[in-house]
Amino acid sequence: MNKNIFQSVLILGLAALIFSCANSKKEPEMTTPTRPVYKLSGPKKRVGIFAFKNKSRYGQDQLTQAALDILYSELEKSGLFELYERADLKELEKEFNLIESGKINPISAAEPGKLVGIQAVIIGSITQFGQWEEAKDYGVYKKKVQIAEATVDVRVVDVTTGKIITADSGTGRTEQETEQTLGFGSSASYDETMADKALRASIDQFIVSLIQRLQETPWEGRVADVDLINGQETVYVNAGRKSAMPIGSRLAILKVTGKITDPETGAFLGYKTRKIGSAEVYELTGEDLSKARVSSGGGSSKGDIVVLEQDAGKF
């Protein structure tokens, strides 16, 4: 191969390398964990989500809203829950904040679950967030990596007792890589989506176990009214189309006979209940209302607890 041909081949090869590197911008590899196929076996459980708190040094309010939106979206996609956001839980969230700050005594606080009819709330916080760049310079070849990392903590709290049902945490990281050769290539500009990607990656770490734990919590409703229809006692239950109450659901009706408190601290632990009857749902009469015929027992009154028959032993 003569000198001119060799130089031509070298130039062409170098040009191809520059062209290749000029178009090199490696997007972060996002791996989404495999989601189980969820099946609704009863009414949707009512779950509230408080506004997220940002405990990191990265003081941007949009981080907390992004984390809230991602968690809400993931729970909504499961199809298992009737979700309530901050606007619906303003007074409840205020009370929880006062209890956690020590400004009010949880023993003397109201039983807030009655205010909104939900069973559990999710309290989340961003405990760590960082965004930085790492650069490597090899002379003709330069590489820059943008990195975002977030840690999200969540707690699920029983609204009635204030006890923690479950707690979890996840740390997510996302990277975006750019390369340049001989001054040619992609330049790294600030990517505003990286914060969202890091938050999503951190929530992905615990979302499946969080859904499973919420799914294990027995559904609970209340008798909204009682009527006598065609000589048969009928109860109106505060769950209907919105909660996908299945027609034919077998319900146990529980009468609250007292409260149980801790003998040492006086903290409210739960209710004393007595099963007074069984009923079967036969009609959905509203977004949050259904009718059930009492098939055994009776003497129901407004405020009685209703649960799925198979869960009656858990109360």
pLDDT of the residue at 113: 44
Q: Are 299 and 165 contained in the same domain?
A: no
CATH, residue 145: 3.40.50.10610
The DSSP secondary-structure symbol of 13 reads H
How many folded domains does the chain comprise? 2
Residues in the chain predicted with pLDDT less than 50, given as ranges, are: 1, 9-29, 104, 107-110, 112-115, 182-190
31 within some domain? no
pLDDT of the residue at 191: 63
The DSSP secondary-structure symbol of 100 reads H
pLDDT of the residue at 5: 56
Q: Which of 165, 191, 216 is the last residue of a domain?
A: 216
| Residues of the domain holding 210 | 37-216
Q: Are 200 and 238 contained in the same domain?
A: no
152 within some domain? yes
pLDDT of the residue at 25: 47
10 within some domain? no
pTM: 0.77
Task: Quote the tokens at residue 299.
Answer: 């003497």
- Show the CA angle centred on residue 161, arms to residues 157 and 164, nearest 5°: 30
pLDDT of the residue at 18: 44
pLDDT of the residue at 71: 96
Collect all residues with Cβ–Cβ distance below 8 Å to 309 and sequence separation of at least 6.
250, 251, 252, 278
Q: Which of 153, 187, 216 is the last residue of a domain?
A: 216
Of 73, 14, 26, 45, the residue nearest 200 (C-alpha): 73
Q: Are 306 and 244 contained in the same domain?
A: yes
19 within some domain? no
Q: Which of 184, 216, 248 is the last residue of a domain?
A: 216
pLDDT of the residue at 141: 58
Q: What is the pLDDT of the chain when averaged over all its residues? A: 80
Contact 119, 49 (CB under 8 A): no
